[in-house]
Amino acid sequence: MSSSSTTTTTTRLLMLKASDGVTFEVEEAVATKLGAINNMVEEEGSEDLICLPNVNGKFLGMVLEWCKKHANNNTNSDKGNDEVNKWWDKEFVMDLDQNTLYHLLMAADYLSGTELVDLLTEKVASMIRGKKVEEIRETFKIKSDFLPGQEEEIRKKNSWAFE
Amino acid sequence: MATKRVNRTFGRKKDGVPNIMAVDRISKLPDPVIHHILSFVPTLYAVRMSILSRRWRRVWYSIPALHFCDSDNMGYPVFGGQQKKAFYKFVEECVKHRQICTRYITDSVITRFKLDIEHYGDNAPIDKWFTSAVLRNVEHLNLSIKAEDFVGFYRLPEAVLNARSLTVLKLSGLRLGNPCLVSLPSLLSLSLMQVELFDEPLRNLMLGCPALEKFCLKDCFCLPKLQISSSTLKFLEIIDEDLFETIEVVAINLQSFIYDGDSNDINLSACKAIRSLSLDSPLNSKSLEDLICGLPLLESLTSDLHFELTLKHIRICGQHLKSIRLDIDDCGQENPEVTIEAPNLISFYYRGDIMCGISMNAPDNLLDVQIVIEEGYSSGQKYDRDWYINLIMFLSNFIFSWKTTVSLHVNSEEVCILYASFVDLVYLQIIIARLIYLHIYK
């Protein structure tokens, strides 16, 4: 593709190993979008296999897919790229189920992928905004563990928030 | 298919393996992640979530961003009945509770404070909330007042204009009138929208922000002659509706300038470091040419072009230009000419009529060319042989290298039908000597 000429000078491949033993070979420019990997490369170099015991292969794959898209789209400074990235991000989070969303968020947080954390937390926030407490409870399957009457007590005490 | 169905019924059972969809995941997220999520949610929801479970009981005490908005995402008021009173009471209580909890919760810093309200004319409480936020070293402050009449404009308290920790300040719908002393030593980004602003307060403001890098000015009032000077400013965006007659910017470190408005007197002669220029203005071709010539480091240019009867030619040149985007809405009766001299150009975009003659000796590194052909609305374009000849004439002014990818966007399917029937198209392909992506859009 057209990006080949710009990346030939910097293309170095990193080997990442997920908790379940799945390995990924990615360009350094892609993987270093993740703060944690950037730090590891800076401190220990990029020759060795980088082990990530807290991330499962499935979710590491998804995180890297996101990084790859954003690393590619950032190389050419076209004005329309912001739009493309936004559109792509929207698609990326659109149909995520809560289980995937949770694991992705944990992975992105662990890997310090700041922009990805922003994207995913905003997605969760959009599932909260505009909802009544009961709807939030239903959406996220949150079970109340208050003692009988305790919830009512908090509600009363903070009546200024529940009118 | 069969296994899926089995799984689904299995998941619904009360005993056995829990349904993956019925698991509460969000409560298991670490605190910082939850605080991050709730930073994007109006504080009202975060407070109400305290009755979800014990896990959520005190979460809102540690959210670093407070966001108070008196209407929900659909525009309806968040409190029924005594709307104003209830909303003020709510903010008051939140600010108070967050103040109290600093005594026993360590991570209760407030870095962002946002207030998004209709204007009620009751300023004392707002002053109090802001002052309290400033005292807690808030970094981002965002105030938006939907002012219906401009009589009762809100004025910022002095504490805000002297907030040492403030890095980002966004204001909308208020007045920066009284000349009080401004000292915002950490402020990096300032955004003013529908703000009433006179020369003197603006000058004070700029003088009081010695670290300012980004400044956005949108639809502000009362300044026929805008003058901005700052030695630290890197990004400047001005969007106005026919308000400024002249714009003068004195900013030696300015890198990016965006203007969208009706002024045709823009002076950037003191901003030699500009790398990116984006204009949507009625500047004529001569003024634009002069403006561009005065920017030796320009790398990216986005502009619409306006030609007058006597000025039918523009020359765009720059040693560092890498990206050019040109828009021509109306060519007029005469056919204007554009000459481009940019030896380091990488991408070129043009939207407009094919009657405009663009000549360019494309450099080797030009990778991406996009041409969107738009005919004047009135012309009722026929895609006949003449049109193709014009297209060929138009394209033949470009001299592309083999590496260049050219995509051509045309707004009618007719083009496609005729595309096959003209032998000239073979010639067309020879001219371009590279792939043509033909896009039809409507």
Residue B13 pLDDT level (bands cut at 50, 70, 90): very low
Q: Which residue has the higher pLDDT, B209 or A78?
A: B209
Distance between CA atoms of residues A75 and A6, nearest Å: 8
A27 by Cβ neighbours in 10 Å (0-12 / 13-18 / 19+) ranks as middle
Task: Write out chain B residues lying below 8 Å of A162, CB-based.
Answer: 48
Q: Which residue has the higher pLDDT, B8 or A54?
A: A54
Put simply, the answer to whether A129 touches B41 (Cβ < 8 Å) is yes
| Minimal CA separation from B22 to chain A, in Å | 6
Mutation target for A interface from B14, B31, B37: give the one with most A CBs within 10 A: B37
- The whole-number average pLDDT for the span B77-106 is 85
**The domain at A13-142 falls in which architecture?**
2-Layer Sandwich (3.30)
For residue B6, what pLDDT is reported? 37
- The whole-number average pLDDT for the span B81-96 is 87
In this structure, what token pair is assigned to residue A84?
């493309």
- The whole-number average pLDDT for the span B1-22 is 44
Lowest mean pLDDT among A33-42, B22-31, B383-392: B383-392
Tens-digit pLDDT profile for residues B116-171: 988 666 788 889 999 999 999 999 999 998 866 655 678 888 899 999 999 999 99
ipTM: 0.89
- The whole-number average pLDDT for the span B71-98 is 83
Distance between CA atoms of residues A85 and A74, nearest Å: 9
Q: Give the residue extent of every domain in chain A.
A: 13-142
Residue B422 pLDDT level (bands cut at 50, 70, 90): very low
**Residue whose C-alpha is closest to residue B412's, from B439, B394, B387, B432:** B439
**Mean pLDDT score across all residues of chain A:** 86
In this structure, what token pair is assigned to residue B96?
């108070």
Residue B423 pLDDT level (bands cut at 50, 70, 90): very low
Cβ–Cβ contact A25 with B under 8 A: no
| Minimal CA separation from A12 to chain B, in Å | 24
Distance between CA atoms of residues B168 and B426, nearest Å: 57
Distance between CA atoms of residues B215 and B149, nearest Å: 26
The minimal CB distance from B90 to the residues A140, A144, A161 is found for A161
Global pTM value: 0.83
For residue B11, what pLDDT is reported? 37
Segment of A41-45, B248-252, B425-429 carrying the highest mean pLDDT: B248-252
% of chain B with per-residue pLDDT over 90: 44
Put simply, the answer to whether A109 touches B72 (Cβ < 8 Å) is no
Cβ–Cβ contact A13 with B under 8 A: no
Tens-digit pLDDT profile for residues A87-121: 889 999 988 999 999 999 999 999 999 999 999 99
Put simply, the answer to whether A97 touches B21 (Cβ < 8 Å) is yes
Position of tokens 């698609």? A91
Query: What one-letter code names the amino acid at B434?
Result: R
Q: Which residue has the higher pLDDT, B226 or A109?
A: A109
Residue B1 pLDDT level (bands cut at 50, 70, 90): very low
Segment of B6-10, B27-31, B386-390 carrying the highest mean pLDDT: B27-31
